[in-house]
Amino acid sequence: MRSEYKLIFERSHEGRRAYDLPECDAPSAVCEIPEEYRADNDLKLPELGEVDLVRHYTNLSRRNFGVDNGFYPLGSCTMKYNPKINEELAPMFDEVHPLLDPAMCQGCLALMADMEHMLCEICGMDAFTLQPAAGAHGELTGLMHIRAYHEHRGDTARTTMIVPDAAHGTNPASAAMAGFKVKEIKSAPDGGVDLDALRAAVGPDTAGLMLTNPSTLGLFERNIKEIAKIVHEAGGLLYYDGANLNAIMGVVRPGDMGFDVMHINLHKTFSTPHGGGGPGSGPVGVKSHLIPFMPVPRIEQKDGMLTLNYDKPDSIGKIKSFYGNFGVIVKAYCYIRSLGAAGLKEASENAVLNANYVMNKLRGVYEIPHDRTCMHECVVTPGELMDYGVNTSDIAKALIDRGYHPPTIYFPLIVHEAMMIEPTESESRETLDEFVEAMKGIAEQVKTDASAIHAAPVTTPVGRPDEVTAARKPIVKYEEE
Amino acid sequence: MVPNDRKYTRDHEWVMVEGNVAKMGITAHAAEALGDIVYVELPAVGDETVMGESYCVVESVKASSSVFSAVTGTVVEVNEELDGAPEKLNEDAFENFIAAVEFTEINEDELMDAEAYEKFCEEEA
Amino acid sequence: MRSYVPNTEKERLEMLHDIGMNSMDDLFRDIPEDLKLKKPLDLPKPLSETELRDLIHGFVYMNEEGGPLFRGAGAYRHYIPSVVPQLAMRSEFYTAYTPYQAEMSQGMLQSLFEYQTVICRLTGLDAANASVYDGATAAAEAMLMLRDNKRKKKILYSAALNPDVITVMKTYAHCAGLELVEIPVTDKGVTDKAAVAANMDGAAGCIAANPNYYGCIEPMAELAETVHAANGLFVAYVNPISLGVLKRPADYGADIAIGDGQPLGLPMAFGGPYVGFMAATKKLMRNLPGRIAGQTTDAEGNRVFVLTLQAREQHIRREMASSNICSNQMLCAIMASMYCCVMGPKGMREVAEQNIAKAHELAKKLTALDGVKLRYPDTPFFNEFVIDVEDAAEIDKALANYSITGGLVLPDGGMLWCATEMNNTEEFDFVCDLIEDTLDPMGGEE
């Protein structure tokens, strides 16, 4: 199975070409640019014919694994199926320049306005901006709203953002980037927010609390109303990390739980493909008291036309060029319009059903540190399998050999050797059954032949990488010998 | 073996005082706990350090840890060798200092000798 | 109703029974009753695939575009080789998540390594990251790199950066507590070098664009020298298409090169998704934000690609990380890389040369009209330029009547025109005729 694969630079033959430009009908004007500004040489790029280039990338894609290849229960990432129709429709706007007069792009603006409106309804918020390009970008944007809110009231003492220790790493990182001090609070034994710790943490310096609900353990935060009360009474605002929204669509809304500001990952909950690491999209929703601070431009109706209004003196400004990852927004829009209210609720219900189904079938084989009805994902650990000298990483690698993408591993940090399994609603019962059988098979093999587990994966083009050398002596680009 | 020519902190750093200069590093115990060290984010000469606050970050593949200063003062020398060869901390943490600080403040009462530190490690385990 | 849930009602019920439940409601029993929605969400009725297609077509028809385009200002229409979007639609790529499991993600990781190499070759620098959201956020991240590397909070930027880029930088800078100092533009349309020198005291560095927002080619070597003389770092914000002809950032001493990769094979798509590229000298490699792919080996010695230098990132450093970025624009980055590999050294030169040729021809024809002047006639330009003309807004409207998107009307009344290899001289003549008619409505009546 093992095989190296040449880099595209190693396939270059001087003089070959794959591009095809029309003949230029204007006289050359390169001489208009002084020589001192011009490069002395051509760029060092590979030269290939089109067919070789196509084969290079096609074969590279075969060394990769997406949702279309198989089950991808990567916790917190909501790797649901990406509908094909959405991929077909989004490119219809490819030729629209972003700086057209609004009169010439009413279709794009109408789609975006519609999308903002639907996200408000789904989340129970009063307004949405589609500008942020990813979840972390949305977090930063949302936190900027909280900062602007306090600054606007002249309450400059509110400089601390409270973040539970179970939070996604982006939460504290975004808070720091937004200029807050981060105060981490320990989780309660059940994995939820420790109310006493929260009460002790809030004060006149509290800007807000960032929370994921369901939590990163996949559990619904039952004390959410009390949490909201504690934070609000202390003068802080509540930020909702929407990474886990797929559990609750049509069931309960962040706005109704008391959150003031939130982001959504369109590339998780709303089915847009993640592109192997992006592009995503992280729209931010706010309650009415935060609307003045939203990024510009705002899409507004004026004289029967949609316009882009930049005149918002209290706005945080812009956090990205233009209006967001529009192409991604179109796909998510198509998803919501395809499913409607009942379809979104059906998606969440089945996401939760599938997660509980898997969790129940794994009970007794793997350890479930917080064993109660989970939401869209569950967290398990190897438990006593560790006694055989294997860890979570070994089990993940063994899953690769059985044709699965492993769950998220070593997160949340508060669970030792965590495996976070998020099946999503896209998976059929037999897929889940087969996955459970694979997990059980691995557990059996751990007891009988742990060395085989340590050797995994054996079915992949390469074995486990030497990450220490990669980090100590980084090679981050190709150099000709 | 923990050398007895220097003092230790509860955060598993060592400090060797000569006059008003403190040479500081991490203990073998700390290096082992970190695993394969892949990078040492060194302070710069001239940086101010504050007792009990981070002056350096040590990275493994999957973790990063702050190294805390035992003294308040100004960095006068850093161990540049660690820049290209962070593994030296794994090989011999006591032989490879991180930085030398000309200090204005030190709290010797807070520091342990080798014997006390060994005992401290045992208790922690 | 469209459903992507494969399990039938019967199967779902069996699964519920399997786990000791009777209904879907049981799954949500941890949620306080009074918080739960009492009625269905108020959303439009679900659509079949056919209806959805009609709906989206409706939005497309509501737009009025499709004619000749002479607008750039941060988003450019270029030739997109058909292999680029087609290869990007390999679903092993686009339906994957970030390559956390290297053994089963070699395709993405190697593509990324190749992208980083391409960006290094374009910029001449030593290391590139796996992309950020767009050019503007690349500029914002570059400010943070300057801050972290120099440990200074004052940063200079050229007023000739794209205004969107400046606005985004200001938003980030406010939160990071940075002091941004704007360096004015001279009457030649370039960054005022003397003002850079005068303001460098206490500054970490300076960010300038080439070509700049007004299309002008900046004396980057002189700017870099000025910044370096004051012990600062110089950041070049470049249009990657220009690098087929223009000097590369490393040639003039830039420490960091950034920009928006949209011109490299990505559609305009009403503003996104695009891709922000970032490259730096070896010394600054660890200050680069976000993902970086690296090369290593497996136990058998095979070449393997992995995400590396991860201990800089948010999932490990949490609040100590210098950036929160995780998801970036990976697929767009790979498309940009594919584009550069399709074009090769000759194609990159040819496309840049065509842009120069077309833009200069357009400028020549426009300025031949009475009342139309180049604003910066003595400064070389790439594929954009500013003209001054009476009543630009009127011209814009007149062109729009013929479905032509003319140069962008600037707040100061000028017009920022762009021509690429996608424009032709027939369009130029037509546009010039229309402008002539607009400027002198009587002149055309014979």
Who's near C338: CB < 8 A, 6+ residues apart? Answer: A53, A57, C83, C84, C87, C88, C265
Pair (C335, C351) in one structural domain: no
Tell me if chain C has a CB within 8 Å of the CB of B46.
no
Mutate to test the interface with A, among B36, B57, B87, B91 (most CBs of A within 10 A): B36
Interchain contact, B62 vs A471, CB within 8 Å: no
Contacts of A62 in chain C (CB under 8 A): 92, 107
Q: How far is CA A420 from CA A76, A271, C405, C428, in A?
A: 8, 20, 51, 59
Task: Compute how many other C-beta atoms are within 10 angstroms of the C-beta atom of residue C85.
Answer: 16
Tell me if chain B has a CB within 8 Å of the CB of A466.
no
3-state secondary structure (DSSP) of residue C231:
coil
Interchain contact, B63 vs C286, CB within 8 Å: no
Q: Is residue B54 part of a domain?
A: yes
**Nearest chain B Cα distance for residue C273, angstroms:** 30
**Residue B56 is part of a domain; what is its CATH number?**
2.40.50.100
Domain coverage including residue C289? 83-339
pLDDT above 60 (res C48): yes
**Nearest chain B Cα distance for residue A471, angstroms:** 6
Residue B17 class from Cβ within 10 Å (0-12 exposed, 13-18 middle, 19+ buried)?
Answer: middle
Nearest CB neighbour to A320, from listed C101, C113, C133: C133
Contacts of A213 in chain C (CB under 8 A): none
Pair (C262, C361) in one structural domain: no
Tell me if chain B has a CB within 8 Å of the CB of A468.
yes
pTM of the model: 0.97
Tokens for A39?
Answer: 């490069």
Strand partners, B66: B57
Q: Quick one: which of A352, A336, A207, A349 has its CA closest to A264?
A: A336
Which chain B residue lies closest to C321 (C-alpha atoms)?
B64
Nearest CB neighbour to B39, from listed A410, A467, A471: A471
Amino acid identity of A91? P
A159-174 pLDDT, tens digit each: 999 999 989 989 999 9
Listed by number, the residues of chain B in 50-79 with a beta carbon closer than 8 Å to a beta carbon of chain C are 57, 59-64, 66
Contacts of B38 in chain C (CB under 8 A): 311
Contacts of A278 in chain C (CB under 8 A): 131, 133, 273, 327-332
Q: Buried b vs exposed e over B54-78: b needs ≥16 C-beta within 10 Å?
A: bbbbbbbbbbbbebbbbbbbebbeb
pLDDT above 50 (res C204): yes
Pair (C161, C130) in one structural domain: yes
Token look-up 């970030």 returns C98
pLDDT of residue A133: 98
Q: Is residue C2 part of a domain?
A: no
Tell me if chain A has a CB within 8 Å of the CB of C96.
yes
HSE at residue C227, side-chain half, CA atoms within 13 A, is 32
Task: Compute how many other C-beta atoms are within 10 angstroms of the C-beta atom of residue C206.
Answer: 27
Give the range among A56-65, A150-159, A182-191, A447-456 with minimum mean pLDDT: A182-191
Pair (C178, C327) in one structural domain: yes
3-state secondary structure (DSSP) of residue C357:
helix
Tell me if chain C has a CB within 8 Å of the CB of B48.
no
Who's near C154: CB < 8 A, 6+ residues apart? Answer: C178, C179, C181, C202, C203, C204
Pair (C93, C205) in one structural domain: yes
3-state secondary structure (DSSP) of residue B83:
helix
Mean pLDDT of chain C: 96
3-state secondary structure (DSSP) of residue C36:
strand
The chains in contact with chain B, meaning 3 or more Cβ pairs closer than 8 Å, are A, C
Strand partners, C283: none
Interchain contact, C121 vs A178, CB within 8 Å: no
Which chain C residue lies closest to A139 (C-alpha atoms)?
C324
Domain coverage including residue B31? 7-124
Amino acid identity of A53? L
Instruction: Give dist(CA A322, CA C345) in Å, integer.
Output: 31
Give the range among C13-17, C315-319, C357-361 with minimum mean pLDDT: C315-319
Pair (C251, C364) in one structural domain: no
Instruction: Give dist(CA C26, CA C20) in Å, integer.
Output: 9
C270-311 pLDDT, tens digit each: 999 999 999 999 999 999 999 999 999 999 999 999 999 998
HSE at residue A197, side-chain half, CA atoms within 13 A, is 16
Instruction: Give Cα C401 to chain centroid, integer Å.
Output: 30
Q: Is residue B11 part of a domain?
A: yes
Nearest CB neighbour to B61, from listed C311, C317, C320: C311
Interchain contact, C311 vs B66, CB within 8 Å: no
Enumerate the H helices of A380-428 as residue ranges: 392-401
3-state secondary structure (DSSP) of residue C282:
helix
Interchain contact, B63 vs C316, CB within 8 Å: yes
DSSP string, C310-341: GGGSHHHHGGG-S----S--HHHHHHHHHHHH
Who's near A464: CB < 8 A, 6+ residues apart? Answer: A397, A457, C102, C103, C298, C299
Q: Is residue C91 part of a domain?
A: yes
- In B70-109, the DSSP E strands lie at 71-78, 99-106
Instruction: Give dist(CA C276, CA C288) in Å, integer.
Output: 12
Contacts of B36 in chain A (CB under 8 A): 468, 472
Interchain contact, A472 vs B87, CB within 8 Å: yes
Instruction: Give dist(CA C244, CA C344) in Å, integer.
Output: 10
Instruction: Give dist(CA C101, CA A399) in Å, integer.
Output: 11
Checking A362-370 for CB contacts under 8 A at 24+ apart, the result is: A362/A436, A362/A439, A362/A440, A365/A439, A365/A440, A365/A443, A366/A419, A366/A439, A366/A443, A369/A191, A369/A415, A370/A190, A370/A191, A370/A217, A370/A219
Q: How far is CA A423 from CA A94, A426, C4, in A?
A: 33, 8, 14
Largest CA distance in chain C: 89
Interchain contact, C310 vs B39, CB within 8 Å: no
Token look-up 């601070």 returns A293
Answer whether C63's CB lies under 8 Å from A107's CB: yes
- pLDDT category at C316 given cuts 50, 70, 90 is confident
Instruction: Give dist(CA B51, CA B14) in Å, integer.
Output: 13
Which chain A residue lies closest to C126 (C-alpha atoms)?
A477
Which chain B residue lies closest to A410 (C-alpha atoms)?
B62
Pair (C260, C395) in one structural domain: no
Q: pLDDT above 90 covers what percent of chain C? A: 93
Q: Is residue B1 part of a domain?
A: no
Tell me if chain A has a CB within 8 Å of the CB of C393.
no
- pLDDT category at A135 given cuts 50, 70, 90 is very high
pLDDT of residue C313: 86
Tell me if chain B has a CB within 8 Å of the CB of A410.
yes
- pLDDT category at C446 given cuts 50, 70, 90 is very low
Answer whether C89's CB lies under 8 Å from A438's CB: no
Which chain B residue lies closest to C309 (C-alpha atoms)?
B61
Interchain contact, B39 vs A472, CB within 8 Å: yes
Interchain contact, B62 vs C310, CB within 8 Å: yes
Which chain C residue lies closest to A214 (C-alpha atoms)?
C31
Interchain contact, A472 vs B38, CB within 8 Å: yes
Which chain C residue lies closest to B62 (C-alpha atoms)?
C311
Answer whether A388's CB lies under 8 Å from A450's CB: yes
Answer whether A217's CB lies under 8 Å from A415's CB: yes
Out of C339, C364, C385, a domain closes at C339
The chains in contact with chain C, meaning 3 or more Cβ pairs closer than 8 Å, are A, B
pLDDT above 70 (res A232): yes
HSE at residue C425, side-chain half, CA atoms within 13 A, is 13
Tell me if chain B has a CB within 8 Å of the CB of A29.
no
**Total count of domains within chain B:** 1
C245-259 pLDDT, tens digit each: 999 999 999 999 999
Tell me if chain B has a CB within 8 Å of the CB of A472.
yes
Strand partners, A183: A162
Pair (C224, C157) in one structural domain: yes
Tell me if chain C has a CB within 8 Å of the CB of A77.
yes
Who's near A98: CB < 8 A, 6+ residues apart? Answer: A321, A322, A323, A326, C74, C75, C268, C270, C271, C272
pLDDT above 80 (res C66): no
Q: How far is CA C252 from CA A41, C231, C236, in A?
A: 14, 16, 9
Pair (C120, C207) in one structural domain: yes
pLDDT of residue C443: 65
Q: Is residue C69 part of a domain?
A: no
Tell me if chain A has a CB within 8 Å of the CB of C130.
yes
At B67, phi and psi to the nearest 5? -110, 130
Interchain contact, A334 vs C52, CB within 8 Å: yes
At A470, phi and psi to the nearest 5? -55, -35
Q: What share of chain B is helix, strand, coil (3-state, %, to 5)?
A: 25, 40, 35
Pair (C151, C220) in one structural domain: yes
Strand partners, C277: C259
Q: Is residue B2 part of a domain?
A: no
Out of C339, C355, C389, a domain closes at C339
Which chain A residue lies closest to C50 (C-alpha atoms)?
A85
Task: Compute how many other C-beta atoms are within 10 angstroms of the C-beta atom of residue A272.
Answer: 30
Contacts of C99 in chain A (CB under 8 A): 64, 276-277
Nearest CB neighbour to A465, from listed C27, C135, C306: C306
Average pLDDT rounded to a whole number, residues A4-8: 96
Show the domains of chain A with their CATH numbers. Answer: 8-61 (no CATH), 84-338 (3.40.640.10), 342-468 (3.90.1150.10)
Interchain contact, A3 vs C302, CB within 8 Å: yes
Pair (C278, C189) in one structural domain: yes
Answer whether A417's CB lies under 8 Å from A410's CB: yes
SS (H, E, C) A140-202: HHHHHHHHHHHHHCCCCCCCEEEEECCCCCHHHHHHHHCCCEEEEECECCCCCECHHHHHHHC
- In A212-279, the DSSP E strands lie at 237-242, 261-264
**Residue C230 is part of a domain; what is its CATH number?**
3.40.640.10
Instruction: Give dist(CA A13, CA C53) in Å, integer.
Output: 44
Pair (C259, C291) in one structural domain: yes
Instruction: Give Cα A459 to chain centroid, integer Å.
Output: 28
ipTM: 0.97
Chains A, C: CB contacts within 8 A come to 684
Q: Is residue B58 part of a domain?
A: yes
Listed by number, the residues of chain C in 339-378 with a beta carbon closer than 8 Å to a beta carbon of chain A are 340-351, 353-354, 356-361
Answer whether C189's CB lies under 8 Å from C214's CB: yes
Q: Is residue B79 part of a domain?
A: yes
Q: Is residue B39 part of a domain?
A: yes
DSSP symbol at C371: T
Q: What share of chain A is helix, strand, coil (3-state, %, to 5)?
A: 40, 15, 45
Which chain B residue lies closest to C283 (C-alpha atoms)?
B83
Q: For every one of its 125 residues, what pLDDT tens digit does chain B have, with 9 covering 90 and above?
A: 899 999 999 999 999 999 999 999 999 999 999 999 999 999 999 999 999 999 999 999 888 899 999 999 999 999 999 998 999 999 999 999 999 999 999 998 889 999 999 999 999 87
- Give the torsion through C-alpha atoms of C349, C354, C359, C362, to 10 deg: 170
Mutate to test the interface with C, among A17, A50, A97, A333 (most CBs of C within 10 A): A97
Contacts of B86 in chain A (CB under 8 A): 472
Answer whether C223's CB lies under 8 Å from C190's CB: no
Interchain contact, C311 vs B39, CB within 8 Å: yes
Q: Is residue B45 part of a domain?
A: yes
Q: Quick one: which of C137, C129, C130, C317 has its CA closest to A175?
A: C317
Instruction: Give dist(CA C330, CA A278) in Å, integer.
Output: 5
3-state secondary structure (DSSP) of residue B2:
coil
Pairing of strands A160-164, A284-286: unpaired
Average pLDDT rounded to a whole number, residues A48-59: 98
**Nearest chain C Cα distance for residue A447, angstroms:** 24
Task: Compute how many other C-beta atoms are within 10 angstroms of the C-beta atom of residue A165.
Answer: 16
Out of C282, C317, C339, a domain closes at C339
**Nearest chain C Cα distance for residue A99, angstroms:** 8
C373-418 pLDDT, tens digit each: 999 999 999 999 999 999 999 999 999 999 999 999 999 999 999 9
**Total count of domains within chain C:** 3
Average pLDDT rounded to a whole number, residues A393-421: 96
